Structure 1
């Protein structure tokens, strides 16, 4: 049952909110245990939670509403893509299939599923959706910096102890144990998560209804463009902070701090200076990731909604992979991130230039995204205006 665009929007708002509620518990508890006690113990906690979730899912299957399979659209889409991109190869393939076609009954008509005409219509929709989704890949490259280079940058900033001061009469053991408990660098991810937990309900209950009543509610594509802009500002802020950090390093102003089994030579800048870039990437997630899910689901043909959602998540993985590949490329001799003595030490690297490069890539693809989505929305409005006279005449 299709409840409309607003219902889809609310569903994905709360779907994403629930994911981040779990992330709060993971960051608060698991990250603290991993950094201050043991990585093995920290990893055992999510393994146990996933196992528990699996058994809950297994026992709840009788209450799920399931539908019988109606065939895969993947093979049909691949055939149509082959037919359009490589017509010679397609004609050779179809001629070979036609030789044995009389030996087999036409089983397609016996199975429920889209007709050949519906396959062609679905393929045309897919061709229009894919360019929009592909231009999100650079955003994912920026987004996953939050869990990689942002963390590495934070390890080279001053991380305060949770228990910095103790009375003179306290035991030596307590002081030694307390002073080893540092704020986990991963806790800065809470800035991103808390923004989502606060702003998603505000957006869902206050902002969206207000804009909807005034007919000012932006489309999913417009929100995605805004999310890309916030992602761009996040890496710009990270680059400026890295420039300031390297300024301290160039003057040999460092503090040594032990995190786990490793010692880092950090700039005397507080790690709290990273909060703005985490806040900005969190806001970008509200405007890019959630509307991206909404767009992928609502614009996909009904028979391909699962496949399109899969492509959306696949492209987020592609963005992460491309980001890792870019880091590997820049880590080669002569690259900005080349650190031959210690790959975990960024004090002799130019990570600020890497952040600015990402900002440039994001800015260029945002402009491309606006151009592609403008054409997409104009085409959608044209189709809607053509369908209105038909309804009126009927």
Structure 2
């Protein structure tokens, strides 16, 4: 519901009358739109929608995070008792479903926004969200649910601080767990809430999961290049005009422009094709021969594919800059922006998107499966939220690295102020740096996948203290 309310702010701000009601106004003396030369008069007050837009984005983030942290684990709960492999099938098709939504968003909504109106483009996802909420509410009686037992996060924070020696919480610097029976009972807990010893067991499990989660961060740094540097690279490659028409044939799409968001479709289309192949062919084939690797070992394989993807991007960038240095460029219009692109066709980017799509199959889907399977029973949502939280950390670190490399003195990513012009950058060096970071991560993850020992299935379903293996 929060997601839906926040999404409704977007079409309101795209509607002139809506902006009058939700946006403020800048004073006339602060506006820059003045007519004439020297002594001209300003055009009066202008609308100022930044507070409304940023408030909407914060609400969207709150809604998205609540859904992501709970929807995948909630969906897996619906099928976990229907067979041995149903959870694995669920996460395959869950991820496939999210990419169906991405195809619709990029292919249809982006085209409508760029060529028809932002109002119609924003109303489309609002309608979809409202329909999704309606279906979800209708299906509520059929869902497998469990009664709320209170938040485990506060208990985990308290145990962490106790393990760090916070005396005001009764903590010591002794190894946590030596005197778990001395933990005070949680008097305010709801019926069915974990006992103190169960809280301790959950804390110990999370302490084992956290290093694995942290090791996903460099992968996310590479993954989000698709929406940033891969995308920017594509804008500076030659894109065929799909809306061309000649004098003898009238094209019904005359006047429409190529939506730049379509450059992100390559990865999504790859996933739509590969997920069914993985679910129906690859996984059953490996399972019959008892060769199906664990989730962490699948993630190792996927990280090598992401390493290959960013290496391919670096090679394409070197080739693109060769064309630019030899004046083999062509002006092109993408959306409403002009680019001086290399004549190298954009199809050269297909391998890097294909490799990144394969990496998602073996990193993100097994990562979701790992987080769900290893999470304590009472902390499924929190653990899934932690998995997605690491993706945000990876994105921020990637942006921070770009900012660091964009410093004026010898910055590889230091580019002119001309929007979208990367012809004087050394973005290929940035790709190879990411490849080096990903290579170190792959080696670390190989060691971690060998040392990590999953909990037995009977312990995953219970609250008894598992015997932890020292790595």
* TM-score for both structures, normalised by structure 2: 0.72
The alignment status of 1:259 with 2:334, answered yes or no, reads yes
Change (3 A) 1:110 1:207: closer
Corresponding position of 2:393: 318
Task: Say which of 148, 153, 156 aligns to 2:228.
Answer: 148
Change (3 A) 1:273 1:68: same
Aligned with 1:257: secondary structure? strand
Task: Say which of 273, 284, 289 aligns to 1:209.
Answer: 284
Change (3 A) 1:156 1:191: same
How far does the alpha carbon of each residue in 1:241-296 deviate from its partner, in whole angstroms, 9 at most, with x for none?
A: 00111111122221111122211110001111111111111000000000000000
Task: Say which of 68, 83, 87 aligns to 2:162.
Answer: 83
Instruction: Find the aligned partners of 1:109 and 1:146 in 2 and give their Cα distance.
Output: 45
How far does the alpha carbon of each residue in 1:43-93 deviate from its partner, in whole angstroms, 9 at most, with x for none?
A: 342233223323443454455444321111101111111111234454389
Name whichever of 206-215 and 284-293 sits farther off: 206-215
* Matched pairs, number: 368
Instruction: Find the aligned partners of 2:230 and 2:266 in 1 and give their Cα distance.
Output: 13
Instruction: Find the aligned partners of 2:406 and 2:337 in 1 and give their Cα distance.
Output: 21
Instruction: Find the aligned partners of 1:110 and 1:156 in 2 and give their Cα distance.
Output: 58
Name whichever of 4-13 and 48-57 sits farther off: 48-57
Change (3 A) 1:188 1:109: closer
Task: Say which of 344, 347, 354 aligns to 2:420.
Answer: 344
Corresponding position of 1:223: 298
Asked whether the equivalents of residues 5 and 298 of structure 1 are also in contact (C-alpha less than 8 Å), the reply is: no
Instruction: Find the aligned partners of 1:21 and 1:193 in 2 and give their Cα distance.
Output: 8
Corresponding position of 2:218: 138
Aligned with 1:164: secondary structure? coil
Change (3 A) 1:329 1:236: same
Change (3 A) 1:161 1:109: closer
Give the Å deviation of 1:37: 4.3
Corresponding position of 1:162: 242
Aligned with 1:264: secondary structure? strand
Task: Say which of 378, 398, 421 aligns to 1:303.
Answer: 378
Asked whether the equivalents of residues 185 and 195 of structure 2 are also in contact (C-alpha less than 8 Å), the reply is: no
The alignment status of 1:364 with 2:440, answered yes or no, reads yes
Unaligned residue ranges in structure 1 (runs of 5+): 94-103, 385-394
The alignment status of 1:289 with 2:350, answered yes or no, reads no
Asked whether the equivalents of residues 227 and 285 of structure 1 are also in contact (C-alpha less than 8 Å), the reply is: yes
Instruction: Find the aligned partners of 1:92 and 1:234 in 2 and give their Cα distance.
Output: 47
CA RMSD of aligned residues (A): 2.7
Q: Quick check: which one's helix share is greater?
A: 1
Task: Say which of 440, 450, 455 aligns to 1:374.
Answer: 450
* TM-score for both structures, normalised by structure 1: 0.85
Task: Say which of 141, 150, 153 aligns to 1:71.
Answer: 150
How far does the alpha carbon of each residue in 1:178-226 deviate from its partner, in whole angstroms, 9 at most, with x for none?
A: 3x54544433433322222222122212221221111111110011111
Change (3 A) 1:110 1:315: closer
Change (3 A) 1:233 1:105: closer
Task: Say which of 85, 94, 103 aligns to 1:6.
Answer: 85
Asked whether the equivalents of residues 259 and 335 of structure 2 are also in contact (C-alpha less than 8 Å), the reply is: no
Aligned with 1:126: secondary structure? helix
Change (3 A) 1:105 1:126: closer
Aligned with 1:263: secondary structure? strand
Change (3 A) 1:182 1:380: same
Corresponding position of 2:20: none
Corresponding position of 2:111: 32
Give the Å deviation of 1:340: 3.7
